[in-house]
Chains A and B, each alone.
Chain A
């Protein structure tokens, strides 16, 4: 039966109320043999290979949005960060900061989504923590997740691996998550058919790794969007990148809301898309591998790497012009993840 009422300071005090919350809610959804040990630390025996570790805190506002919520996002975001290094994500730790007064039913929805997302990604939640703070000291709830994965020996995938001549691909439409959050917050465009793309990409990444020995870089373009992620790759790898604007997939409804709000989808966050840089000859294989995955149906080849002016990203505009595609600069970012 679902728990009723609101979070009180007691729920974080380590006493009876805490135990009820842990037993009645967290264990019910996230429980497994490791978590069930209820000891001070989880003890794990990872398979051979190098470990990839990533941590992220999630403070998205609103906590529920079309296409997901802060819970599913906290799993997807960290799973993806681990997967972008070529690792198989295995374990997740979860820390909650709850604001006094949060509806327990809302917390339960969030935790249930986390469990579902973890199951889909094939990761096990091995440690967790909950703190409660007074009203106004946090906003509803914040979640930190840390992901641990294993990289097979010999696999080198990273933002520094791109070389001139490589092809640049993206796994689908860009800007969906960012525009959905902005529109939810502005109370605008809610009837537009837009939703966050929040999803775990580890299976898609595994398919790519299997299909393309010439895979150089995987990157999930979250904050700052496609434009910022590509600028980071260009700078880290010491290449230039040349894009074809007309080839970049953008959902028409997303484009419409962006036009309305004065936003550029190339700078908006994605939570279920990846950029893939691969040896040019393997671009068709990479495209096929992505399109074979549920989260890569809209994949496209969007450009290539060059050798001149390292660090610069150029875009050939749809109307036939050419310009720089810069990093995001200046604007303070709202809480989108």
Chain B
């Protein structure tokens, strides 16, 4: 575990925090775009090591959280269809839709299976040849290529009982939509290491050069996050706004062209609903015509009535960095990780879950 320990070195972390304190003069707010960063900040208590001049705000980067209610409703409808098995990642089954979650469907007898990878869902389809297995695909550009690969595997195996319901999201359009929305008073972005390994840094260039907001692509260990915040502070103090990569051991500026090609072979961009951000043009992924026969949205009737969210849930505002979770009236009292009302409290990477677990009293 030397690899991990190296990036959790207490002396190094304390030194970086001291450097941030020395460098930071101007009050500034940075947004972390990725749920894994939200969790790393809270779990290691990194936010408590920052000077009062540096505030971190969470953005729309938790894949479970941005999944729209109508997308959950479609999956629930499929789970209610006789002969259909819905397979998806663990957190997603607990996200409430308009009429309950997939977990509630499962408790009522529907076939809902938790899988750890898209290929597990393909294996499930092989085992349960008498049933239709639908994989509910969520996640950003990090996950979509693996779903594309699973889909091609199923096709190669000639499986006729496997399909994908795509609720995938793309990061760059969401970033653009966020910047086009109300002014959040941001001074820069802590950019997601994992997504950037796939998409590269091109989408941050206009943010840095046209909007004048520094961007640093960050790793996920404590010293990675602190070093990245230091890089952001230095840009602010020196009046620069550039795209920098802190997470050099994994990220290249051009991303991973092979993964992108795989994703683009199977999927094409479509308008997509985001929890909290509404419909964003070309921000989701649908299966291309050539793979229509593996598309659950075409194979089954997935029309659902307009979605109904819990009226008090402010996940949308949390996801856009407009409020911290404790400003939601339901936080901690009514909405908790064991009985979540919104996806931000369900996902292990959700902002409300992170605050509830690690920062409840702040």
Closest to A260 in B: B1
Q: Mark A304-323, 1 if CB is under 8 A from B, else 0.
A: 00000100100111111111
Query: Known contacts A252-B1, A320-B10, A323-B359; is A330 also within 8 Å of B45 by CB?
Result: no
A259-B1, A259-B4 given; A323·B358 CB < 8 A: yes
Given contacts A309-B361, A326-B358, contact A319 B338 (CB under 8 A): no
Task: Kindly state whether residue A329 has any CB partner on chain B within 8 Å.
Answer: yes
CB distance from B207 to the nearest CB of A (A): 28
Q: Are B47 and A321 within 8 A (Cβ)?
A: yes
CB distance B1 to A319 under 8 Å? no
Check A321–B48 contact: CB distance below 8 A: yes
Contact of A329 among B8, B45, B223, B336 (CB under 8 A): B336
Q: Which of B13, B17, B45, B337 contacts A323 (CB 8 A)?
A: B45
- Chain B nearest CB from A176 CB (Å) reads 16
Q: Is B42 an interface residue (CB 8 A)?
A: yes
Instruction: Report Cα–Cα, A324/B45, bound state, in Å.
Output: 9
Number of interface residues of B (CB under 8 A): 27
Main secondary structure of the interface of B (DSSP, over half): helix
> What is the CA–CA distance of A196 and B59 in the complex, to the nearest angstrom?
41
Q: A246-B10, A319-B14 are in contact. Are A324 and B360 (CB under 8 A)?
A: yes
- Cβ of A323 and Cβ of B42 under 8 Å apart? yes
Q: A255-B1, A330-B338 in contact; A319/B10 too (CB < 8 A)?
A: yes
Report how many residues on chain A are interfacial, defined by Cβ distance under 8 Å.
Answer: 20
Given known A-B contacts A259-B1, A329-B338, A321 and B46 have beta carbons under 8 A apart: yes
A213 at the interface (CB under 8 A from B): no
Q: Which residues of B contact A259 (CB under 8 A)?
A: 1, 4
* Contact A318-B8, Cβ < 8 Å, known A252-B1, A255-B1, A323-B42: yes
Asked if A256 CB lies within 8 Å of chain B CBs, one says: yes
Q: Which residues of B contact A329 (CB under 8 A)?
A: 336-338
CB pair B222 A319 closer than 8 Å: yes
Taking a contact as CB atoms under 8 Å apart, the answer to whether A323 and B48 are in contact is yes
Smallest CB gap from A246: residue in B: B10
Contact B361 A319 (CB under 8 A): no
Q: Which residue of A is nearest B340, CB measured?
A: A330
B10 touches A318 (CB 8 A): yes
Q: Is B49 in the interface zone, CB < 8 Å from A?
A: yes
The answer to whether residues A317 and B336 also contact, given A259-B4, A309-B361 and a CB cut-off of 8 A, is no
- With beta carbons under 8 angstroms apart, the residue of B4, B13, B42, B360 that contacts A320 is B13
B288 at the interface (CB under 8 A from A): no
Which one of A252, A255, A309, A322 contacts B45 once the chains associate, using CB atoms below 8 Å? A322
CB distance from B18 to the nearest CB of A (A): 10
- CB neighbours (8 Å) of A323 from chain B are 42-45, 48, 358-359
Q: Which residues of B, 318-362, contact A by the 8 Å Cβ criterion?
A: 336-338, 356-361
B138 CB to nearest chain A CB (Å): 18
With a cutoff of 8 Å between Cβ atoms, the chain A residues found around residue B336 in the complex are 329
- Which residue of B4, B45, B337 is within 8 Å of A317 (Cβ)? B45
Q: Bound state CA distance, A185 and B46, in angstroms?
A: 34
Q: Which of A309, A315, A320, A322 contacts B17 (CB 8 A)?
A: A320
Residues of chain A within 8 A of B8, CB atoms compared? 318-319
Report how far A315 CA is from B359 CA in the complex, Å.
Answer: 11
B35 → A minimal CB distance (Å): 14
Q: Which residues of B contact A322 (CB under 8 A)?
A: 45, 48
B357 and A324 contacting across the interface, CB-CB below 8 Å: yes
Chain B nearest CB, measured from A239 CB (Å): 16
CB pair B48 A319 closer than 8 Å? no
Residue of B10, B17, B336 with highest tally of chain A CB at under 10 A:
B10
17 extra A-B contacts, CB within 8 A, seeds A256-B1, A319-B45, A323-B48: A246-B10, A259-B1, A259-B4, A312-B361, A318-B8, A319-B46, A320-B13, A320-B17, A321-B44, A321-B46, A321-B48, A322-B48, A323-B42, A323-B43, A323-B44, A323-B359, A326-B358
Q: Which residues of A contact B (CB under 8 A)?
A: 246, 252, 255-256, 259, 309, 312, 315-324, 326, 329-330
A-B contact pairs, 16 of them (CB 8 A): A255-B1, A259-B4, A315-B45, A319-B13, A319-B45, A319-B223, A319-B226, A320-B10, A320-B14, A320-B17, A321-B44, A321-B45, A323-B45, A323-B359, A326-B357, A329-B338
* Among all A-B residue pairs, the 9 with the closest Cβ atoms: A321-B45, A319-B13, A323-B45, A323-B358, A319-B222, A256-B1, A322-B45, A317-B45, A321-B48
